[in-house]
């Protein structure tokens, strides 16, 4: 019974996630010209090319930011450009280029002579990426990243099913969606210039703020709460997600979860119906400003060929006086829709990124100018907190079966945790009390109760000996880190020990 209740609760979360996706995706109207037709048409779109430029004007005078944080703000203010070429849902290319990368250089994130840029390829079930400072591409097998086993569907098969869902059940849902955008203006025909040349588009202007967002949320939630095919759509959507048999929901559990979700959506709709920007500010305890102004250029083939948006966001705490605001400017062009799109070639050596995560020596061998080297190094970092049974190993938060502690000024950590952190299974010799760790060719041998250790056969004297407590073997983690070329730092206030590679 408890398992069923837990499964239903998980389904509720998925249902509300689906609602959030729909709120984001569905921007349609019955007002002429019909944006719903444009949106529906986009679902059948295959290939296209595009360019998006994003910049911001950020006011941080009332915010307490460090110098590095201010430099990051400067980077976003100068903006970046994203160019993309899409052949189909399984083959695409994108490149992100900084308009001004000096703020990144000022904080040491970017040191290469090349202008900061990142390239991404999607080719079937594999993703390739590199920065403009890298000679080779790094590859990720999406099946391995998503832990899809040999018996499960491939990433490609999942993507195909998702596209079928989007063009089937979800498109059916959008077709019956009949929301009229309150502030929509038809500006008539205008010319835009793309790499393909000039074309005539129908200009449409929209404006919305907090009250319009609330109105749209009320309509959408109410629409979902009363959509008779939501049960069918939820079952189809959940069937696309690979999951272990013990977590798979029955049709009855899904139906019950959908009913509960629709009831909660109806209740939430009633609560939102009476809300305004002023009442939200009173509830939140601070003043905020939100406004979006968008002009779309709709082509004769019914797709969005151009977009110019200005998004204003502001926040002020009337009690403390702290405030901040930002104006985000977004401009985009789309062309060669359903045309013959040519993707760039992947040249040079290709490195398996997952293999790098297993071997720090391979990461160290990467060129120093590669910004991705620091990123891969973070996979081998670790953070322990004295007297607390948890740690961060690489980028993963882990609960421990025994808490680290200090002895003679040294941080003692469970040996099993060290092995998991370094990807090395500790070999334990019960008769002699010896422990061996082999970390990518560096062999460390310890003996419980002894300060002497062997590192690749060479004798080394530790500050404190490994020891056993409550059935667990603890080792001085700083010693092991030092032998692997890592550095350590300690924060006395938080009692956190950080081990990191540079």
Sketch the domain layout of the chain as residue ranges: 2-335, 381-500
Q: Which residue has the higher pLDDT, 423 or 494?
A: 494
**In DSSP terms, which residues pair with 122 in a beta bridge?**
92, 127
**Token pair for 150:** 């040999």
- Give the separation between CA 422 and CA 235, rounded to whole angstroms: 41
Q: What is the dihedral of CA 236, 239, 240, 245, to 10 degrees?
A: 170
- Give the separation between CA 134 and CA 114, rounded to whole angstroms: 10
Superfamily for domain range 381-500: Copper amine oxidase-like, N-terminal domain (3.30.457.10)
**Token pair for 3:** 């398992």
Question: What is the rounded average pLDDT of the residues 257-261?
Answer: 90
Residue 342 phi, psi dihedral angles, 5° rounding: -105, 120
- Give the separation between CA 52 and CA 382, rounded to whole angstroms: 37
Residue 379 phi, psi dihedral angles, 5° rounding: -65, -20
pLDDT class for 152, splitting at 50, 70, 90? low
Among candidate residues 303, 346, 302, 301, the one with its CA nearest the CA of residue 50: 303
Chain center to CA of 239? 23
Question: Where is average pLDDT lowest: 35-44, 163-172, 255-264?
Answer: 35-44
- pLDDT tens sequence across 93-143: 999 999 999 988 888 888 888 999 999 999 988 999 999 999 889 999 887
Count the alpha carbons within 13 Å of 138 in the hemisphere toward its beta carbon: 22
Among candidate residues 437, 421, 424, the one with its CA nearest the CA of residue 383: 421
8 Å CB contact between 161 and 237: no
Residue 120 phi, psi dihedral angles, 5° rounding: -135, 135
Averaged pLDDT score across all residues of the chain: 84
| Residue 319, burial from CB neighbour count under 10 angstroms (0-12, 13-18, 19+) | exposed
Q: Over 50: is that where the pLDDT of 54 sits? A: yes
- pLDDT tens sequence across 198-230: 999 999 999 989 999 899 889 989 998 999 999
- Bridging pattern class, strands 458-461 and 452-455: antiparallel
Three-class secondary structure of residue 188 per DSSP? strand
Q: Which residue has the higher pLDDT, 157 or 238?
A: 238
Q: Which residue has the higher pLDDT, 257 or 360?
A: 257
pLDDT at 34: 66
- Please report the DSSP string for 453-498 in residue order: EEETTEEEE-SS--EEETTEEEEEHHHHHHHTT-EEEEETTTTEEE
pLDDT at 123: 92
pLDDT class for 400, splitting at 50, 70, 90? confident
User: What's the Cα-to-Cα distance from 365 to each of 276, 371, 442, rounded to whole Å?
Assistant: 57, 13, 16
**Token pair for 178:** 């009949």
Q: Residue 149 CB: number of other CB atoms within 10 A? A: 9
Among candidate residues 308, 298, 213, 339, the one with its CA nearest the CA of residue 36: 298
- Give the separation between CA 261 and CA 258, rounded to whole angstroms: 5
């Amino acid at each position: 019974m408890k398992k069923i209740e837990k499964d239903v609760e998980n389904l509720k979360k998925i249902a509300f996630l689906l609602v959030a996706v729909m709120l984001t995706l569905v921007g349609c109207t019955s007002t002429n010209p019909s944006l719903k037709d444009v949106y529906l048409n986009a679902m059948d779109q295959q290939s296209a090319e595009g360019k998006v430029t994003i910049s911001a004007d950020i006011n941080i005078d009332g915010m307490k930011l460090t110098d590095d944080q201010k430099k990051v703000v400067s980077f976003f203010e100068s903006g970046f450009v994203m160019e993309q070429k899409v052949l189909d849902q399984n083959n695409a290319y994108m490149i992100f280029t900084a308009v001004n990368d000096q703020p990144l250089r000022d904080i040491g994130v970017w040191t290469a002579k090349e202008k900061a840029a990142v390239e991404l390829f999607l080719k079937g079930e594999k993703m390739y990426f590199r920065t403009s400072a890298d000679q080779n591409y790094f590859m990720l097998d999406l099946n391995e990243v998503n832990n899809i086993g040999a018996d499960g569907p491939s990433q490609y098969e999942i993507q195909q099913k998702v596209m079928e869902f989007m063009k089937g059940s979800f498109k059916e849902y959008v077709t019956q969606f009949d929301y009229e955008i309150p502030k929509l203006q038809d500006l008539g025909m205008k010319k835009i210039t793309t790499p393909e040349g000039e074309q005539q588009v129908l200009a449409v202007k929209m404006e919305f703020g907090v009250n319009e967002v609330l109105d749209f949320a009320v309509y959408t939630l109410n629409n979902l709460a009363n959509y008779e095919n939501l049960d069918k759509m939820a079952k189809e959507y959940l069937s696309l997600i690979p999951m272990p048999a013990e977590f798979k929901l029955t049709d009855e559990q899904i139906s019950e979860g959908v009913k509960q979700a629709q009831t909660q959506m109806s209740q939430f709709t009633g609560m939102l119906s009476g809300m305004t920007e002023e009442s939200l500010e009173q509830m939140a305890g601070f003043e905020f400003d939100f406004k979006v102004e968008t002009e779309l250029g709709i082509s004769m083939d019914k797709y969005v060929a151009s977009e110019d948006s200005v998004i204003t966001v502001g926040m002020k705490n009337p009690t403390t006086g702290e405030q901040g605001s930002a104006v985000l400017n977004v401009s985009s062009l789309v062309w060669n829709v359903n045309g013959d799109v040519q993707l760039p070639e992947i040249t040079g050596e290709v490195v398996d990124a997952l293999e790098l995560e297993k071997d720090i020596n391979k990461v160290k061998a990467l060129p120093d100018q590669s910004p991705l080297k620091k990123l891969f190094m973070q996979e081998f970092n670790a953070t322990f907190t004295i007297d607390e049974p948890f740690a961060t190993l690489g980028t993963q938060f882990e609960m421990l079966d025994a808490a680290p502690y200090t002895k003679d000024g040294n941080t003692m950590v469970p040996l099993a945790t060290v092995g998991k952190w370094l990807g090395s299974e500790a070999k334990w010799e019960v008769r002699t009390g010896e422990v061996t760790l082999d970390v990518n060719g560096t062999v460390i041998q310890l003996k419980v109760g002894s300060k002497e250790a062997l590192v690749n056969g060479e004798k080394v004297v530790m500050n404190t000996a490994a020891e056993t407590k409550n059935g667990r073997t603890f080792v001085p983690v700083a010693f092991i880190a030092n032998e692997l070329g890592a550095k350590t730092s300690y924060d006395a206030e938080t009692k956190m020990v950080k081990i990191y590679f540079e």
